[in-house]
Structure 1
Amino acid sequence: MHVIVTGGSSGIGLEVARLYAARGARLTLVARGLSRLEAARRELLAMGHVSDAAIRIAAVDVGSDAGLSVAMAAAEAEFGSCDVLIASAGVVEPGLFETLSGEVFAEQVATNLLGVANAVRAVYPGMKARGSGRVMIVSSGAGLIGLYGYTAYCASKSALSGFAEALAMEAAGSGVGISICFPPDTYTPQFERELAKRPREAQALMGKARPWTAKAVAARIVRAVDRGTPRLYFGFSIAALGRFGSLVKPVLYWWYRRKRS
């Protein structure tokens, strides 16, 4: 089995890779930083479940369609067709909309939305032609509700729902499974950087729930891939937003505005 993980050098992506490594899968890890990818490969090799020959790393920006396409094609040429794609690469830069530069806003859209589309585009036609394969798109709980100071992140992550739903319609009956998940705050290196910039207005709402470990999130993601779960929610509050958002969000927004007044 060949598993490709974007954002595989740390956090949720690396923990997902760790689980597939334990199964003896051939792994391709994609991320921007070569040094972090090399460190991730060393961690996986230290587990003793896979050999160096079964792990590829590709230092490429998922926002670059051409660059990612070349990297994914090379991975499939060496390890065989992609059986499972975990599209988990993402960035977050909190800040009020009027303070975010166009460059910072665009980077989040390019990575979180276009980066997912680019990764899927690289392997989906082959999956469809073979009649098998699984794609798991990693969105965020923030993709289910608008949050103070997260205009770019919420916009990019919420757009993934529409993408996943439309793609699932196109993939119906083809043998290719399309899934999307909505993780909560998760202890990752990026989360630590995000917290330092998170507005207190956002923390008043988001801080009500305890962050999950990347290991726990990854375990549920891999289990959902195994089961073919189309939409995966984490915890009561995110599940409520995902299933009853039209009822839950007005109450949350009322509480938030009342708290600020």
Structure 2
Amino acid sequence: MHVIVTGGSSGIGLAIAKLYAARGDRVSLLARHSGRLDEAKAEIAALQGVDGSLIRTVSVDVASAEATAEAVELCEASLGPCDILVTSAGIVEPLAFDAMPASVFDEQVITNFLGTANAVRAVYHGMKSRRRGRILMVSSGAALIGIFGYTAYCASKSALTGFAEALSAEADACGVDVSICFPPDTLTPQYRREISRRPPEAEILMGSVRPWSAEAVAARIVRGLDRGTPRIHFGFSLMALAYFGPLIKPFLIWWFSRKTRKITGKEAS
């Protein structure tokens, strides 16, 4: 089986790639930074029983549809048609909307949403023609509720929900399975960078939940893919938001608004 992972040089993507490689599957990693890809490949190849010749890396920015298609073509030429695509490439830059440059907002939407669509487009035709394949989009718990300072990130990750649902409706008759997952805060290099920039208002809502390890998130994702689960959730609070959001969110928004006004008042004084 050939598994292609975007954002595979670190974090959740790398942890997923390790699990599949340990099973003996062929794994391709796509990411922007060639140096990190080399390090990731070495980490995977060092795992017991893993054949390094079954690991392929390609440096690419998924924001480019053409470059992503070319990268996938290279991977499939080396390791065969893609059986599973995991779209884990993503970025987050927390900042209040009116303080966020348009370029920073756009980059998050392009990478997180359009980058996912570009990767899916690169494998989808082949999967349809073979009448088999699995696609897993990595969204975020931030897709389930709006968070102060995360306008671009919440918007881009929420958009993946509609994309996954609509694509699933189209793909089902062709034998292609489409899934989406909503990870919580996860201990990754990106999280460590993000947390240093997280606004105090966002910390009210997000800081009370202990981050998961990338390995634990990856294990649940792979288990969900094995079972054909269309939506993969993490922990009671995010699962409750996913299924009972219309009932829960009005109270959360009211509570959060009160807390935010207190912070704003302190800053103004």
Global fold match (TM > 0.5): yes
Aligned pairs for 1:112-127 (under 5 A) are 112-127=112-127
TM-score by length of 1: 0.99
Cα RMSD, aligned residues only: 0.8
Residues 156-215 of structure 1, C-alpha deviations (whole Å, 9 max, x = no match): 000000000000000122211000000000000000000010000000110111110000
Tell me, yes or no, if structure 1 residue 200 matches structure 2 residue 182. no
Gaps of 5+ in 1: none
Rounded to whole Å, the distance in 1 between the matches of 2:132 and 2:227 is 14
Code of the aligned partner of 2:6? T
Rounded to whole Å, the distance in 2 between the matches of 1:259 and 1:27 is 46
Quote the offset at 1:258 in angstroms. 2.2
Rounded to whole Å, the distance in 1 between the matches of 2:202 and 2:243 is 22
Tell me, yes or no, if structure 1 residue 75 matches structure 2 residue 75. yes
Report the equivalent of 2:93. 93
Code of the aligned partner of 1:76? E
Quote the offset at 1:20 in angstroms. 0.3
Report the equivalent of 2:190. 190
Report the equivalent of 1:179. 179
Rounded to whole Å, the distance in 2 between the matches of 1:128 and 1:105 is 33
Report the equivalent of 1:231. 231
Code of the aligned partner of 2:13? G
Tell me, yes or no, if structure 1 residue 145 matches structure 2 residue 139. no
Code of the aligned partner of 2:150? Y
Residues 12-58 of structure 1, C-alpha deviations (whole Å, 9 max, x = no match): 00000010011011110000000000000000011032222111101
Report the equivalent of 1:163. 163
Rounded to whole Å, the distance in 2 between the matches of 1:147 and 1:65 is 29
Quote the offset at 1:229 in angstroms. 0.2
Structure 1 stretches of 4+ with a deviation exceeding 3 A read: none
CA contact (8 A) 2:141 2:238 kept: yes
Residues 97-144 of structure 1, C-alpha deviations (whole Å, 9 max, x = no match): 011111111110111000100000000111111111000000000011
Gaps of 5+ in 2: 262-269
